[in-house]
Structure 1
Amino acid sequence: MNSQNHTIPASIENEAKTALKFYPQLKETRIEFRFKKNIKKSTMLAQPTFGSFFRSRKKRAYIILISEKFKIENQEFLTTQIPSNVLIGWLGHELGHVMDYSDRSNLNLLWFGIKYLLSDRSIIEAERSADTFAVRHGMENYILDTKDFILNHAHISTIYKNRIRKYYLSPEEIMEVINLRDEREALIQ
Structure 2
Amino acid sequence: MIKLIIKIFLTIIALVLILAAAVFFQEVDPKQVKPGFTPHQFADTLANHTYDLDSLKAIIGDNKGLPEGFEIAAAIAYSAYPQLKDVNIDMILQPEGAPMESTFNIWTLFIPGKKHRQYRILLNDAEKTFFDPILLRSLPFDAQVGILAHELGHVVYYHQLNLFEIGKWGLNYLESDEFRATHERSTDLMPVYHGLGSQIYQYAYFVRKDSSCLEFFKGAQGFMDKYYMTDIELLEAMNNQRGSHLFQNAH
TM-score range, shorter chain: 0.7 to 0.9
Give secondary structure in 2 for the equivalent of 1:38. Answer: coil
| Of 168-177 and 98-107, the range deviating more from structure 2 | 168-177
1:173: which partner in 2?
Answer: 233
Is the aligned partner of 1:128 residue 2:188?
no
Asked whether the equivalents of residues 67 and 92 of structure 2 are also in contact (C-alpha less than 8 Å), the reply is yes
- Mapping for residues 102-113 of structure 1, pairs under 5 Å: 102-113=159-170
Counterpart of 2:228, as a letter, is: Y
Deviations 1:25-49 (A, max 9, x none): 111110010012111xx31000121
Asked whether the equivalents of residues 44 and 65 of structure 1 are also in contact (C-alpha less than 8 Å), the reply is yes
Query: Of the candidates 96, 100, 114, which is equivalent to residue 44 of structure 1?
Result: 100
Is the aligned partner of 1:32 residue 2:101?
no
Asked whether the equivalents of residues 150 and 161 of structure 1 are also in contact (C-alpha less than 8 Å), the reply is no
1:162: which partner in 2?
Answer: 222
2:194: which partner in 1?
Answer: 137
Asked whether the equivalents of residues 57 and 103 of structure 1 are also in contact (C-alpha less than 8 Å), the reply is no
| CA shift in 2, pair 1:72/1:140, >3 Å | farther
Asked whether the equivalents of residues 52 and 59 of structure 1 are also in contact (C-alpha less than 8 Å), the reply is yes
1:186: which partner in 2?
Answer: none
Is the aligned partner of 1:80 residue 2:137?
yes
Give secondary structure in 2 for the equivalent of 1:6. Answer: coil
Is the aligned partner of 1:182 residue 2:182?
no
Asked whether the equivalents of residues 97 and 129 of structure 1 are also in contact (C-alpha less than 8 Å), the reply is no
Query: Whole-Å Cα distance in 1 between the matches of residues 141 and 166 of structure 2?
Result: 31
Query: Whole-Å Cα distance in 1 between the matches of residues 162 and 142 of structure 2?
Result: 33
Query: Whole-Å Cα distance in 2 between the matches of residues 53 and 87 of structure 1?
Result: 29
Asked whether the equivalents of residues 136 and 177 of structure 1 are also in contact (C-alpha less than 8 Å), the reply is no
Q: TM-score, normalised by structure 1?
A: 0.84
Counterpart of 1:53, as a letter, is: L
Question: Which structure 2 residue ranges, 5 or more long, are not aligned?
Answer: 1-52, 244-251
Question: Which structure 1 residue ranges, 5 or more long, are not aligned?
Answer: 184-189
Counterpart of 1:152, as a letter, is: K
Deviations 1:14-73 (A, max 9, x none): 11001111111111110010012111xx31000121221223334322000000137676
| CA shift in 2, pair 1:151/1:89, >3 Å | same
- 1:171 shift after superposition: 2.8
Structure number with higher strand proportion: 1
Counterpart of 1:101, as a letter, is: Y
Asked whether the equivalents of residues 72 and 157 of structure 1 are also in contact (C-alpha less than 8 Å), the reply is no
The number of equivalent residue pairs is 180
Give secondary structure in 2 for the equivalent of 1:155. Answer: helix
**C-alpha RMSD of the superposition:** 2.4
Give secondary structure in 2 for the equivalent of 1:156. Answer: helix
Give secondary structure in 1 for the equivalent of 2:91. Answer: strand
Query: Whole-Å Cα distance in 1 between the matches of residues 127 and 208 of structure 2?
Result: 15
- 1:76 shift after superposition: 4.0
Q: TM-score, normalised by structure 2?
A: 0.65
Query: Of the candidates 94, 101, 116, which is equivalent to residue 158 of structure 2?
Result: 101
